[in-house]
Amino acid sequence: MLFSSCATILGGSKDNTKVRNGYPPNASVYYNGNHVGEAPTNVRVPKNARQGNSRIEIKADGYESATIHMTRKVSVGYTILDIATGGIWLIIDFATGNIYKPRPNMIDYRLILLNNEAVVSEFEIGDKVVFSEGKYENVEGEIKAVYPNRALIQFNRKPNLIETIKAVGAVVEDEIVVPLGNIAKLTD
């Protein structure tokens, strides 16, 4: 503790990078080749991990793997605290690497099917569906087009801040293309 500084005391020597559940769900997550769990999960990344030498891989059977090379960024907050408390702590934080924050700190993934194989779909134009995950989870919509592995969904949503200022109404009609794994057919 004698040579501890703001970033070391307040932030520790590791940070979490959150891998959120994507497509396909529950893909395996690896940090530098070591399995850390299934998505969604947090990956503990040492702050002093060398830039470009750390990577997170996301894998699932039948899909191409995704590799995210980690970078690092100096924490402005810890830098200001170190300077405000005497400056010497800044040297310690840089020497230990604890002044850095791993980037990205959140990962969303969409893996691609190997050999561009199409998923056999039971969805048809006009089907009523509900989003099963993501930003619009539990929002209902209607299929307007079906493509290999994805569909165009028309749905109603609440207006965002800009749309509210422009007074577009209480509901906004929108469309989005989503993977078939992100929707479920509504039954009567």
- 11 touches 98 (CB < 8 A): yes
What integer pLDDT is reported at residue 128 of this predicted model?
Answer: 92
What integer pLDDT is reported at residue 181 of this predicted model?
Answer: 79
User: 113 - beta bridge partners?
Assistant: 63
CA distance 139 to 128: 11
Give the list of residues 6+ apart from residue 11 with CB closer than 8 angstroms, or none.
Answer: 47, 75, 78, 98
CA distance 130 to 126: 13
pLDDT digits (tens, 9 = 90+) for 154-171: 998 888 888 788 777 778
Please report the DSSP string for 15-54 in residue order: EEEEE---BSTT-EEEETTEEEEESSEEEEEETTPPTTT-
Task: Work out the pLDDT band at 7, boundaries 50, 70, 90.
Answer: very low
Highest mean pLDDT among 2-6, 49-53, 93-97, 123-127 belongs to 123-127
CA angle in degrees (0–180, nearest 5) for 32-36-38: 125
Is 123 a residue whose pLDDT tops 50?
Answer: yes
Please state the rounded mean pLDDT for residues 36-56.
76
Which of 56-60, 127-131, 133-137, 162-166 is least confident? 133-137
Sketch out the chain's domains with CATH numbers: 6-114 (no CATH), 118-185 (2.30.30.30)
pLDDT digits (tens, 9 = 90+) for 9-19: 555 546 778 88
How many C-beta atoms surround the C-beta of residue 23 within 10 A?
22
**Tokens representing residue 76 in the block:** 């402005």
Q: Residue 178 corresponds to which amino acid?
A: V
What integer pLDDT is reported at residue 49 of this predicted model?
Answer: 60
User: The whole model's pTM is what?
Assistant: 0.51
Strands, sheet with 150-157, edge to edge from the N-terminal-most edge strand: 172-179, 150-157, 140-147, 128-131, 183-185
CA distance 128 to 35: 39
* Residue 93, H or E segment: helix 88-96
Strands, sheet with 55-59, edge to edge from the N-terminal-most edge strand: 34-38, 28-31, 55-59, 66-69
pLDDT digits (tens, 9 = 90+) for 132-146: 777 788 889 999 988
**Tokens representing residue 125 in the block:** 């134009």
